[in-house]
Chain A
Amino acid sequence: MSLPGWKQIPLGAVILKPGNSVEYKTGEWRTLRPEINQEKCIRCRTCWMFCPEGAILEVEEPYKTQAGKEYRLTYKVNYDHCKGCGICANECPVKAITMIEEAI
């Protein structure tokens, strides 16, 4: 990929696109991937709160457990950016998140 020349870029290294770091996929750093067991998850928001990446997504997606409990929200992982630190799994009060080795 060829990078733009000095005439093509804004002055003084100013970055005009807020939050464009999303283009950089830190998910590639990961050796362990968190998987959320939707059956066990009690929707307490703890993982979402502690994620250093903001990579736990809180989605308005209803979920009904086999035991019949109904939830309005579902927590999902943004694997593009999750670095696999494991804080979510460590902090989950019901151990609903498992860290699984990534296939190489």
Chain B
Amino acid sequence: MSKPLTVWDLPKDEFLAPGHRMCQGCAAAITIRHILKAAGKDVIVVMPTCCGEITSTVYPQTAWRVPWIHVAFENAAAVASGVSAAIEALKRKGEIPEEKDIKVIAIGGDGGTFDIGFQALSGTLERGDNVLYVCYDNEAYMNTGIQRSGATPLGAWTTTTPVGKVWRGEWRPKKRKDLIAIAIAHNVPYAATANPAFPVDLYTKVKKALSIKGPKLIHVLSTCVPGWRIEPEKAVEIAKLAVLTGMWINYEYENGVYRVTTPVPKRKPVSVYLRLQGRFRHLTDEDIKKIQELVDADVERINKLVGKQVIGPVES
């Protein structure tokens, strides 16, 4: 295995220009910056309708220094497949030089991935199209003002899972659907999770994914200042706490092998992550216990997949 990269391996090139209108402290912006650093100049980016899309391309200005296209909400994967197919055909016909390695990356939110874009994503993964799909997951429909999505975690307040006398935030009593497992079930060669508090890890994974032909998926947690009811300066800190509590596990899957890229020998209790966020402020100790149990089960599942205990018990 090659030497792990460090922060000094991140290129200085910025392909996402400043002046975009993403919120103060937006983790998606950090994620996109590093995806583009990893991709380099020869890339075509496709985005579905999402926060990052509307805030980066307010006509007549664009934050993108690479070719970029948005079409609709539920079809980023399909559009990316089309771009990839065109490159393939035009190379064969000599309209694009054979040696030119143009990557195709779709970057979408959780709504555009878990929910409305799920079918198109399945098509792209199933066909084996040469596309990297990145989901930046802020766990609700933030673009339209914080509505519940298929990625919203148990207990989270959103504007459509409000806290009232009957409802107590998101009600789904189990872990949300497992995007990585779904990708793997499509027999993709590479799938990974990543986190904006670990940009070098993210960068490494994007690089690796782009070196593999076929469909790849990277699922990135994306802290959201307005949607999670957090202070902007805490966006990275909270993302890091997600990993330190086991609420989020950085791992990758490559040709049948699972590997945790950010081992956590001693976990912090989930309460330290939840208590920093306004969306969870109504949770009782009992509610938090339930979430802790879900996380414990997930940690156990991942440790099993990896074959050893890389994520440890909660420190007392």
Query: CB within 8 Å of B: which residues of A?
Result: 9, 13, 15, 17-26, 29, 44-46, 49-55, 58, 78, 80-81, 83-87, 89-91, 99
Is B289 an interface position by the 8 A CB rule?
A: no
By a CB distance below 8 angstroms, the chain B residues around A25 are 19
Determine the chain B residues whose CB is within 8 A of the CB of A23 once the complex forms: 19, 61
Q: Are A90 and B20 in contact (CB under 8 A)?
A: no
- Specify which chain B residues have a CB less than 8 angstroms from the CB of A44 in the assembled complex: 7
Q: Which residues of B contact A (CB under 8 A)?
A: 7-8, 10, 12, 14-22, 24-27, 29-30, 33, 56-66, 196, 199-200, 225, 231-237
Interfacial chain B residues near A49, Cβ < 8 Å: 7, 10, 199-200
Name the distance in Å between B29's Cβ and chain A's nearest Cβ. Answer: 4
CB neighbours of A89 from chain B (8 A):
233
Q: Could you tell me the distance in whole angstroms from the C-beta of A40 to the nearest C-beta in chain B?
A: 18
* Contact (Cβ within 8 A) B63 A86: no
Given contacts A54-B33, A85-B24, contact A90 B17 (CB under 8 A): no
Is the beta-carbon distance between B237 and A90 smaller than 8 angstroms?
yes
Contact B24 A84 (CB under 8 A): yes
User: A residues within 8 A CB of B30?
Assistant: 50-52
Chain A residue nearest in CB terms to B235 = A87
Is the beta-carbon distance between B63 and A19 smaller than 8 angstroms? yes
A21 closest partner in B (C-beta) = B19
* Contact call B18/A53, Cβ cutoff below 8 A: yes
Other A-B pairs beyond A24-B61, A50-B30, A87-B233, 11, CB < 8 Å:
A13-B59, A15-B57, A20-B62, A21-B17, A52-B29, A52-B235, A78-B18, A85-B232, A86-B232, A87-B235, A90-B236
Is there an interface contact between A46 and B29, defined as CB atoms closer than 8 Å? no
Residue from B12, B17, B59, B225 with most neighbouring chain A CB atoms (10 Å): B17
Q: Nearest Cβ distance between residue A98 and chain B, in whole angstroms? A: 12
A80 to chain B, nearest CB (A): 8
Check if B57 sits within 8 Å of A52, measured CB to CB: no
Residues in A neighbouring B20, C-beta threshold 8 A: 21, 26, 53
Query: Which single member of A24, A50, A52, A55 contacts B22 (CB below 8 Å)?
Result: A52
Q: CB-nearest residue of chain A relative to B60?
A: A15
In the assembled complex, how far is the CB of residue A63 from the closest CB belonging to chain B, in whole angstroms?
A: 18
In-complex Cβ contact of A54 among B16, B25, B231, B233 (8 A) = B16
Residue of A nearest to B232 (CB): A85
Measured CB to CB, the nearest residue on chain A to B28 is A52
Enumerate chain A residues within 8 angstroms of B27, measured Cβ to Cβ.
52
**In the complex, what residues of B have CB within 8 A of residue A13's CB?**
59
Known A-B contacts A15-B62, A49-B7, A85-B25; A21 and B236 likewise in contact (beta carbons under 8 Å):
no
CB distance from B113 to the nearest CB of A (A): 21
A51 to B232, CA, bound (A): 11
Contact A58 B60 (CB under 8 A): no
The answer to whether A24 touches B26, judged by C-beta atoms less than 8 angstroms apart, is no
User: Would you call B234 and A90 a contact (CB within 8 A)?
Assistant: yes
**Chain A, Cβ-Cβ closest to B31:** A52
CA distance A91 to B26 in the complex (A): 15
| Separation of A13 and B20 alpha carbons in the complex (Å) | 17
B8's nearest neighbour on chain A, judged by CB, is: A45
